[in-house]
């Protein structure tokens, strides 16, 4: 059962598979119309202590959730935007080489259904539309990035594999946020659905909080996550807020 949270909670929320249902391609995800306003309401109730921690870039996060904007970690923690708007890259300037990106593009020509998602620092290869290519895709990316590569690592995802900087993770992103206002001193809750979220969950537990897996706590359903967030927002806002909303709706 998902726990309630209070105004001293810090929320860290994954995006795809957690707040949004997984789609056939990254571009075809559907954002429920009520989600940006809900997140903005929660952020206000928590004094700003809400961050989106995603494999997507910061620009893509903002595009999907506009007009909502908050602290966020993009590309599994490569890019961090703090509550005051400051953006930090860890490590600055490191990006997947162009030759690797070009090599991966050839996969889309050889294997229909394989999609390459370029990112500012990394690059993801999706095989959701061609799951039978799992082994071949992994062989191809391992040829570029061996296990002992000093700068980059392979990041497994749901029917995808990503090349990203070795020096970052969602766990390190949570650590960075928890050392700054308004997160410092709060009890963190990290919610995620995928392998890359495990580091974020571990960091939340390290700070006395919780890591909640969507499959275990929310029936594997992002709609249940959104419902839980909405219920907690209504409870934290109190009866006076609910009465004001009712009065406004009936006016």
Q: Which tokens go with 52?
A: 């989106």
For residue 165, what are the β-bridge partners? Answer: 152
Neighbours of 208 (CB within 10 A): 9
Provide long-range contacts, Cβ within 8 A and 24+ apart, for 21-30.
21/222, 21/223, 22/158, 24/128, 24/129, 25/115, 25/126, 25/128, 25/129, 26/56, 26/115, 26/117, 26/124, 26/126, 29/64
Q: Between helices 35-45 and 222-250, what is the axis angle to 10°?
A: 80
Torsion angle, alpha carbons of 179, 44, 218, 178, to 10: 0
**CA atoms lying within 13 Å on the CB side of residue 148:** 0
CB 218 within 8 A of CB 2: yes
Look up residue 41 and give its two tokens. Answer: 């309401």
CA distances to 1, 122, 179, 216 from 74, rounded to whole Å, are 29, 11, 18, 25
Place of tokens 């599994």: 76
Active site residue 16: no
Q: Which of 4, 14, 40, 62 is catalytic?
A: 14
Which residues carry out catalysis?
14
């Amino acid at each position: 059962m998902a726990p309630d949270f209070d105004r001293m909670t810090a929320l860290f929320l994954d995006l795809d598979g957690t707040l949004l249902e997984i789609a056939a391609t990254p571009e075809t995800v559907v954002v429920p119309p009520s989600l940006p306003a809900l997140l903005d309401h929660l952020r206000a109730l928590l004094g700003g202590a809400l961050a989106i921690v995603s494999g997507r870039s910061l620009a893509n996060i903002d595009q999907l959730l506009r007009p909502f904007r908050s602290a966020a970690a993009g590309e599994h923690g490569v890019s961090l935007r703090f509550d005051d708007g400051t953006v930090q890259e860890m490590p600055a300037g490191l990006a997947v080489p162009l030759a690797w990106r070009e090599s991966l593009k050839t996969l889309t020509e050889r294997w229909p259904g394989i999609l390459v998602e370029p990112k500012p620092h990394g690059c993801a290869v999706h095989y959701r539309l061609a799951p039978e290519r799992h082994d071949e895709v992994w062989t191809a990316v391992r040829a570029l990035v061996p296990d002992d590569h000093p700068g980059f690592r392979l990041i497994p995802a749901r029917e995808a594999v990503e090349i990203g900087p070795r020096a970052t993770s969602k766990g390190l992103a949570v650590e960075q946020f928890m050392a700054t206002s308004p997160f410092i001193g709060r009890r963190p809750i990290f919610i995620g659905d995928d392998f890359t979220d495990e580091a974020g969950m571990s960091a939340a537990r390290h700070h006395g909080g919780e890591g909640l897996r969507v499959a275990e706590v929310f029936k594997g359903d992002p709609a249940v996550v959104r419902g839980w967030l909405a219920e907690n927002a209504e409870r934290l806002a109190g009866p006076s807020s609910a009465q004001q909303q009712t009065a406004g709706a009936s006016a």
